[in-house]
Amino acid sequence: MEHILETNKLRKEYPEFVLDDIDWKVPKGYVMGLIGPNGAGKTTTIKLIMNLIKADGGYVKVFGFDNIQDEKQIKNKIGYVGEEQYFYEHQSAKWTGEFVSHFYDKWDKARYQSLLEQFEIPLKKRIRKFSKGMKVKLSLAIALSHNPELIMLDEPTSGLDPIIRRDVIDFLKTFTEENDKTVILSSHITDDISRISDYITYMINGRIVMNESKDELLSDWKKIHFTPESLDKSIIDKLERVESQMFGSSGLTKNYLAIRDALAPGVASGDIKVESVGLDDILIALVKGD
């Protein structure tokens, strides 16, 4: 599989936080969701990739190029939307588009205007009068108007109301499906990631703890509801976050395929129930188990 981005032993040390030797590969042409609780190191990782902060160790290769030596060339092919949107706020969306167009080799003015129309962004209004949602959409319009090969979105929906959040995610879903782009979407809102991602990376306390395809992840992780007598103790011991409730117990397995056969009789008799889990259940299990 071809990888569009690769980090090797990437390290950043802060007084109270260490991003610890991150080895990460992002496959080309897919949407990679980067999930983690606040302070896990998602933004630090993305800023290191964008060369917005300096690494203390390791390297980043994007499109096969070094992200520091070939920064300009790489940024020409990346569409970036950060958690905070920075613009010259006394200027308009029209001015901003014209200004940034000079720095990108493949700026598509027609696409920019079309995206602004689609997002209902006024051309001549000063950006400082925009709402947070409008600024995110303007950022997206800029990020997508120079035909980027890689789109990096760092918590783009953070702080948005549910309606605009859904708008943005739906737009991204359609856009990525239609244009076959590689996307890295970082968020602690697992619902957003779940809707559009092909691959999932979990990051906790400055480390990558899991990196798998979403389908495999969701087929591996299941919630098992059981009565103590219906399930062998050796299997119960392998479950995580086992909780006893009034009508039985439940626990998470991260290797459902390995125990599926053993569960089959209990499932057939109705003593055992297997439930699909969400990405947030997995995140909580990983955080608690970390």
Partner 1 sequence: MLRLMKKFSFWYILYPVLLLVFGLPMFNHDRLTGPDPLSLSFAIYLAPMIWLVLGAMWSHEQMESKANGYAFLRILPIEPALIVKAKFAMLFVAVAIYVAGCCIAFAFVSTNPEYLIPSSAYVIVYGAICLVVAALLYLGIFRHGFSRFGKYILIAWVVLLTSPIPIRILILKPRGISDSEIMQFFRGPYWIIGTTACLMGYYLLMKLAVKKLYERHA
- Residues forming contacts to partner 1 in the complex (CB under 8 A) are 50-54, 71-76, 80, 82, 84, 86-90, 99-100, 102-104
Quote the least distance from Cβ 264 to partner 1, whole Å.
53
Query: Toward partner 1, which CB reaches closer, 19 or 286?
Result: 19
In the complex, the smallest distance separating the C-beta of residue 188 from partner 1, rounded to whole angstroms, is 22
Q: CB nearer to partner 1: give 101 or 249.
A: 101
**Minimum distance of partner 1 from residue 8's CB (angstroms):** 19
Measured from the CB atom, the residue of 23 and 103 that comes closer to partner 1 is 103
Within 8 A by CB and 6+ apart from 182, the residues are 4, 5, 26, 27, 28, 29, 30, 31, 32, 149, 150, 151
Which of 73/158 has CB closer to partner 1? 73
The span from the CA of 186 to the CA of 156, in Å, is 8
DSSP 8-state code for residue 85 = -
Nearest to partner 1 of 46, 272 (CB atom): 46
Shortest distance in whole angstroms from residue 60 CB to partner 1: 14
**Interatomic CA distance for residues 247 and 140, integer angstroms:** 49
Q: Please answer whether residues 22 and 45 qualify as being in contact, where contact means their C-beta atoms are separated by less than 8 angstroms.
A: yes
Three-state secondary structure call for residue 256: helix
CB of 120 to partner 1, least distance (A): 23
Please state, in angstroms and rounded to a whole number, the distance separating the CA atoms of residues 171 and 143. 13
Q: How far is CA 136 from the centre of its chain?
A: 16
